[in-house]
Amino acid sequence: MIRGFYTAASGMLAQQRRAEMLSNNIANANTPGFKAEQSALRAFPELLLSNIETLRNGQVKQTELGTINTGAYLQEVIPTYSQGDLRETNLNSDIALVEEVVPFLEETNEKGALFYAVQTPDGQVKYTRNGHFSIDEFGRLSLGGNLVLSTTGTPIVITESDYQITPNGQVILSEGPEQQIDVRFAADVRNLIREGNGFYRTVDEEELPSAVNNDDIQYSLKQGYLEASNVDIAKSYTELMTAYRSFEANQKVLQAYDRSLDKAVNEVGRVR
C-alpha cells in the first residue's frame, strides 16, 4: 500500500510539470519566434518480483511472479524548432528568419536550427528567433537592449529611417559601411539551453558557427514580417486538460490509499 502512495504521487508530479510546460506554451503563443516545448513521460524501471521458498528437502524454489512498476516521471522537455507562420507588420525593423534548407544531424536524424546572434549588455552572445527588433538611441539594431550582431561580430548600425534588408541579410543604406546580419547554425539542437525572453545559449558556452556562405544551408530574411510562435493552441489546450484530468485521477488514488491506511491504523489495528 505504501508503494501505491509513491506511484500515485509520482504521477501527480509528472502531470504537474507537464501542465506547467503546456501553460508556458500557451502563454507564449503570441511571442514572435517562440518555440513550443513537448514533454517525454517515462515509467521508472520495472522491478521483477520473485517468490523464493525453501522446500522440505532443503532445496530452494524460485517462482517468478511478474514485474511491477513504481510510477512515472517527466524525463525531459524538448523544444520543437519547426518554422512558425509569417505575419506581416510593415515595420522596417521587424525581420523574419525563414529556413529553406537546413541539414539534418546524422546521429539523431533531427534537423538543425538557425538563429539570430545578439550580444547582451554583459557581453555574452545569445541566440534567438525573435525578429521583433528596434533601433536604439545610438542607431543600433537591438532586441530589448540586446544588440543584433553582424557577420563581423559588431552591432548593426542604422543611421537613417529609410533602409532595406535584403533576403541574404545585407543592410542597404544610402551611404555608410556595408553590413550583413549574422545568422548562426546549431547542427545539434541538444546543445542548446533555453533561457528567459526567448534566448538560447550553448551548453559548452562555445559560439555557434555562422550560416552565412554555408553552401549546405539556405535561408532568407523578410523585412516587415515576423515569425509567429509554432504553438498549436488547440492541441496545447487539449493536452493541458488531459494533464489536469490525469493529475486528478492520481490525486483520487492517493486519497483512497490515505483512507485505507487511516482505517488500518485507527480501526483495524486498534488494541482494545
Q: How far is CA 187 from CA 49, 117, 184, 190, 202, in A?
A: 44, 15, 10, 9, 11
Q: Tabulate helix, strand, coil % of the chain (nearest 5).
A: 25, 35, 40
The C-alpha cell of 70 is what?
513504481
Radius of gyration of the CA atoms of the chain, in A: 27
What was the pLDDT predicted at 57? 79
| Residue that is written with C-alpha cell 511472479 in the block | 65
| Residue that is written with C-alpha cell 549546405 in the block | 216
Q: pLDDT of 209-239, one tens digit each?
A: 999 999 999 999 999 999 999 999 999 999 9
Say whether pLDDT at 107 is over 60: yes
Per the prediction, the chain carries an average pLDDT of: 89
What was the pLDDT predicted at 218? 96
Q: How far is CA 83 from CA 34, 86, 130, in A?
A: 10, 9, 12
Report helix, strand or coil for 52: strand
Pairing of strands 60-68, 183-186: unpaired
For the ranges 49-53, 126-130, 158-162, 190-194, the lowest mean pLDDT is seen at 49-53
What was the pLDDT predicted at 4? 74
Q: Within the chain, where are the H helices?
A: 2-27, 233-263
Answer whether 58's CB lies under 8 Å from 20's CB.
no
The DSSP string of 70-127 is: --EEEEEEEE--PPPPEEE---TTBEEEEEEE-PEETTTTEE-EEEEEEE-TTS-EEE
Residue 255 confidence class, pLDDT cut points 50, 70, 90: confident
- Give mean pLDDT, residues 26-37: 94
Q: Which residues make beta-bridge pairs with 180?
A: 170
d(CA 153, CA 255): 59
What was the pLDDT predicted at 112? 94
d(CA 43, CA 58): 39
- Give mean pLDDT, residues 17-21: 94
High-pLDDT (> 70) share of the chain, %: 96
What was the pLDDT predicted at 268? 67
Distance from CA of residue 269 to its chain's centroid? 50
pLDDT higher at 37 or 40: 37
Residue 271 confidence class, pLDDT cut points 50, 70, 90: low
Say whether pLDDT at 1 is over 60: no
Q: pLDDT of 137-190, one tens digit each?
A: 999 999 999 999 999 999 999 988 889 999 999 999 987 778 999 999 999 999
Report helix, strand or coil for 221: strand
